[in-house]
Structure 1
């Protein structure tokens, strides 16, 4: 191990015990093949040539950054996302916490104000959408960015780079966050959650745990609920079941026992509403569409009704039971008002078995609750989402 890295890791133990305790859990590996740093939940790799360009405080900040990326679970949650965009999203999520803890980040690290407080998943969705917009012509005729673009990442250390080229070692993000490839992912994730809690408590006892780190530690160890399981459970609960003698249970007839069988009447209409205001991104829409199909196959409602809505209903698709389901892309792009789908159902005298609404929860809700069950699938973390006046809410993590 580079003696400078060893020294700065020791400095973290002494001066920033939360970071230091977690840094000791990572095996430091010299890796000249990488550009800057990488972390995978077990090891922390570094390029010695790059590390040599950093002063001691920048090196300490870089170590803290990688520690937080693991502590926040970014090594477990990348999935099939684009590696570069996930790296950038991860760095944007943890950089404000490192800076607020009083540490210096390497030159070129990004700190975009509008991303502060957001999760890596939320930031990734924004970055992915902006990349697609850029590919579709998000530049002006001269090849430059459109005027008024406020989404440009800002240097983390506040340097003005408008007229000066960045230093040769400047990088646009926090290195790589590699997906953990071991078979014991759940075990490793659980071990890190315990370690984060222990590090937070130890630092708090020493009086050296800033409020931002306390909140991060609490969020990092929150159990992740599978929204898909809740969606399917919600739909299944809406399917009426009862015992009936109309069709006796044949399993016991040979014994002379005339017992009722479980009768499962057909589910009525299943309604899904997709928020198409532009705040629910394509990846989430795609996964939600897949779950709509899965619920339709398992519950087999009388009719599957899929509405798209921004401030008004922009598209309605209706499929009878047994009819092939091919969902059209979400259609819309305006603001967000939740009233219209409920009003439309009332006017057309449709009494669904249940309604599921995919949205970021930032809009105007109906004044009155409907008589049927409603599940709000929130793309905004529940700790920040607006509270719906009725129904059940589940956080969608894609």
Structure 2
């Protein structure tokens, strides 16, 4: 293996940090690892930067500085963490994921005037618009036979030339990585305030780190799953299936414990302030989660309610719901009607903009409020609230 020109590599990093000082802390946190296996430069999840001596010898310092920034961008944008959340089929196509990530990064770097080596990819290479996230680029890309590999710090899958997790040689922990991301985002915000603009992608990234947008679907799904699990935790005795210990007691039949699957009631605010599209989107999310946890349509009752209950029916899909109403708003009526159903629900989910009176005290059923809109008033503290942005898709 050709010996790595350390002076050239470090000179390129110094140039990158000097010209983009808000990236300096992140750049200097990378541990340099010479490697003949890596094609150019790459990073792993632990912030180790693998450098090809041959690539360094053939590349100018300005272009190497651009590659330094490209590689640290994979780590700052948590590309490996986001890749872990992709569908399994996409995760297996790691090099195509890498290309999509390169598109997300390189349009910002080129807009920032950075020099990058020949052979780079950018959205225009595939006739795609700039300014997108890699998750948006991925389904629009063709398959690739050969392309660059930026390492597990990008696509998430360790390469043969990477040091094993327990192999030492420096590295940054998850906690340290999060601190670096926040420090870098704060430095970017200060740079933008004092010296001018940033590329749109970096600006969006910094804003997301400092003022994160909550994924309401994930929060809602978690709340519904937890509530269903809580309601399912109730046990009762039944003689329909005698206890296994009955055989040991002559003439005595012992009941067995059962863990019933709860019924769920969904109360939908159909007053004039609510939009059908918002309601349908939130209802589809709720019914999807219920199906995942095994609560089928035969155990879900949907009640449309404004100031009175307009419709109540068991449904198997969101399309079957009759969103009747349009008058005033009082979700207490819908909640009371839900609790009075013959099959009393263990979980009641309310989809509303929040401008409604609420019951004065909790009941034995778990209550979740999915609050739709930009600034809904908070429900009582005992109501589990999830905020759903209006017009979310």
TM-score by structure 1 length?
0.51
Aligned counterpart, 2:322: 346
Aligned counterpart, 1:21: 25
For 1:302 and 1:221, the matched residues in 2 are separated by: 44
Distance 1:199 1:341, change over 3 A: same
Unaligned regions of 5+ residues in structure 2, if any?
A: 159-163, 167-171, 232-260, 269-284, 302-313, 325-336, 339-347, 352-368, 373-386
Is the Cα–Cα contact under 8 Å of residues 354 and 374 in structure 1 kept in the other structure? yes
Aligned counterpart, 1:39: 43
Instruction: Please state whether the residue corresponding to 1:61 is helix, strand or coil.
Output: helix
Is 1:89 the counterpart of 2:93? The answer is no
Structure 1 segment 1-398 matched on structure 2, within 5 A: 2-41=6-45, 42-79=47-84, 81=91, 82-113=93-124, 114-127=128-141, 130-131=142-143, 172-173=147-148, 175-178=150-153, 179=156, 186-201=174-189, 203-204=191-192, 207=195, 209-212=197-200, 213-223=202-212, 225=214, 227-234=217-224, 266-268=263-265, 291=289, 293-295=291-293, 297=294, 302-303=298-299, 342=319, 344-346=320-322, 392-393=388-389
Number of equivalent positions: 259
Is the Cα–Cα contact under 8 Å of residues 41 and 150 in structure 2 kept in the other structure? yes
For 2:390 and 2:137, the matched residues in 1 are separated by: 20
Q: Deviations along 1:34-63, whole A, 9 cap, x unmatched?
A: 111111241111111122222222211111
Instruction: Please state whether the residue corresponding to 2:182 is helix, strand or coil.
Output: helix
Q: Deviations along 1:215-269, whole A, 9 cap, x unmatched?
A: 3322345547464342242577799x9xxxxxxxxxxxxxxxxxxxxxx972247
Distance 1:217 1:11, change over 3 A: same
Is the Cα–Cα contact under 8 Å of residues 76 and 189 in structure 1 kept in the other structure? no
Q: Deviations along 1:86-118, whole A, 9 cap, x unmatched?
A: 211211111111111110221111111425222
For 1:51 and 1:270, the matched residues in 2 are separated by: 63
Is the Cα–Cα contact under 8 Å of residues 185 and 206 in structure 2 kept in the other structure? yes
Instruction: Please state whether the residue corresponding to 1:77 is helix, strand or coil.
Output: helix
CA drift at 1:294? 3.0
CA drift at 1:17? 1.2
CA drift at 1:66? 0.7
Distance 1:236 1:9, change over 3 A: closer
For 1:38 and 1:394, the matched residues in 2 are separated by: 40
For 2:286 and 2:103, the matched residues in 1 are separated by: 26
For 1:21 and 1:84, the matched residues in 2 are separated by: 28
Larger radius of gyration: 2
Is the Cα–Cα contact under 8 Å of residues 73 and 220 in structure 1 kept in the other structure? no
Instruction: Please state whether the residue corresponding to 2:179 is helix, strand or coil.
Output: helix
Is the Cα–Cα contact under 8 Å of residues 42 and 71 in structure 2 kept in the other structure? yes
For 1:375 and 1:235, the matched residues in 2 are separated by: 17
CA drift at 1:290? 8.7
Q: Deviations along 1:135-182, whole A, 9 cap, x unmatched?
A: 9xxxxxxxxxxxxxxxxxxxxxxxxxxxxxxxxxxx844733433986
For 2:147 and 2:391, the matched residues in 1 are separated by: 30
TM-score by structure 2 length?
0.51
Unaligned regions of 5+ residues in structure 1, if any?
A: 136-170, 242-263, 272-286, 306-317, 321-339, 357-372, 377-390
Distance 1:85 1:224, change over 3 A: farther
Q: Deviations along 1:363-389, whole A, 9 cap, x unmatched?
A: xxxxxxxxxx8799xxxxxxxxxxxxx
CA drift at 1:195? 2.5
